[in-house]
Amino acid sequence: MKAGLSFLEAAGMGLAAGLWIVNASLAGVSNMHTPSAQALYERAVRDLEALRGNVPARDSQAIVGRAYFQNVTLETPPNLDRRYAKDAKLEQVPVTDCPSLTVAAVLPHILSAKPSVVLCKSRLANDLEVAVYSADGKDKKCLLYKGKIGSGMNGQSDTLVFTWDGADPATKAKLPRGNYTVRWTVQDGCCDHVVTIPE
């Protein structure tokens, strides 16, 4: 057992701490604005955050961040346990197999007075159908899009994006309130996304 750290060991620890502070600053964690997620499970990161807390807070955001760190983060022992929000309602996304579609979503999935964004992106050029089905995915309610989609993996190129207000585009009639499944169907499969029409 060593009685203390060698010069190189101490220098290495100091360098690691300095790099963490630089990275935290670049990520927007400077002045304790946002306690690092690592502080949840690493004692060394908590110690570094605590040291930075000795610097006077410069604005209200820093004061709130510091209070959260001291009264919430430090009150929970470091661990890797999952943390769940209380009374959170989590929508289960249907598991489907569709290798060519890299993303397919309706945002937000609970429709409101403002239309939701329907989008998808394919890595292969495809014939695409986007339709609304019943919640169980068995009965087709209306067709949102039928046509071609291009291919591409770079940014927004060949991404299909349109808005939907909860109505059948053919009749302009609003679908009754309830849960529905939006389905993107291409040659090699389909992707489903659950949506809710509240009114």
**Does the residue 157 lie in any domain?**
yes
**Does the residue 170 lie in any domain?**
yes
What's the pLDDT at 67?
Answer: 81
Strand order across the beta sheet in which 116-122 lies: 101-107, 116-122, 159-164
If one counts the domains in the chain, the total is 2
Mean per-residue pLDDT pooled into runs of 10, the chain (199 residues): 50 51 46 48 73 73 79 76 69 73 90 90 91 94 94 74 94 94 93 90
Q: Exposure pattern of 39-76 as b/e (b: 16+ CB <10 Å)?
A: bbeeeebbebbbebbeeebeeeebeebbeebeeebbee
- Pair 59, 108 in one domain: no
- Pair 131, 189 in one domain: yes
**Are 197 and 178 contacting, i.e. CB atoms less than 8 angstroms apart?**
yes
What's the pLDDT at 171?
Answer: 95
Residue range of the domain that includes 190 = 101-197
**Does the residue 15 lie in any domain?**
yes
**Does the residue 16 lie in any domain?**
yes
Pick from 128, 131, 164: which is nearest to 149 by CA? 128
**DSSP string across 89-146:** --PPPPP---TTEEEEEEESSB--SSPEEEEEEESS-EEEEEEEEETTS-SEEEEEEE
What's the pLDDT at 71?
Answer: 81
- Pair 120, 185 in one domain: yes
**Does the residue 113 lie in any domain?**
yes
Which CATH number belongs to the domain containing residue 128 in this structure?
A: 2.60.40.10
**Does the residue 54 lie in any domain?**
yes
What's the pLDDT at 131?
Answer: 97
Neighbour tally for 148: CB within 10 Å: 11
pTM of the model: 0.56
Residue 153's SS3 state is coil
What's the pLDDT at 175?
Answer: 95
**Does the residue 1 lie in any domain?**
no
